[in-house]
Structure formats: structure tokens, C-alpha cells
Amino acid sequence: MPTVSLPPRAVYGELNPGTDAAEAVETVTSAVDALFVILEHAAPIA
């Protein structure tokens, strides 16, 4: 069975019905920013 990769904001919308696009953008962007900070701290880019 092939898998379909959805953009993170679309996935957020599917997991949280009734949310608007602005909330999805804010939440997903914040999560990506947090993940980047964690990864950067764990292995700084030289």
C-alpha cells in the first residue's frame, strides 16, 4: 500500500478538526522551531 505524505499543517488539521488555518500555521511553526532548537543544541552546526 503506497503511503501519502501530507504537509505538517494538513496533518495538524486532520488531527484537530475544527481548527482554522492560522492556528495550524502557528502551532506547526512553533513545533518546528522548538525541534530545530533542540537539535541545534544537541549537535551544533559547525
Instruction: Map out the domains of the chain as residue ranges.
Output: 20-46
CA distance 37 to 7: 21
Buried b (16+ CB within 10 A) or exposed e, 18-33: eeeeeebeeebeeeee
Residue 41 confidence (pLDDT) = 78
Local confidence pLDDT in tens for the 46 residues of the chain: 556 677 778 888 888 899 888 888 888 888 888 888 778 778 766 6
pLDDT value at residue 4? 62
In the numeric block, which cell numbers belong to residue 39?
A: 537539535
DSSP state of 16: S
> Which of 6, 8, 7 minimizes the C-alpha distance to 31?
8
Indicate yes or no: pTM above 0.75: no
Exposure of 21 in the CB half-sphere (CA atoms within 13 A): 1
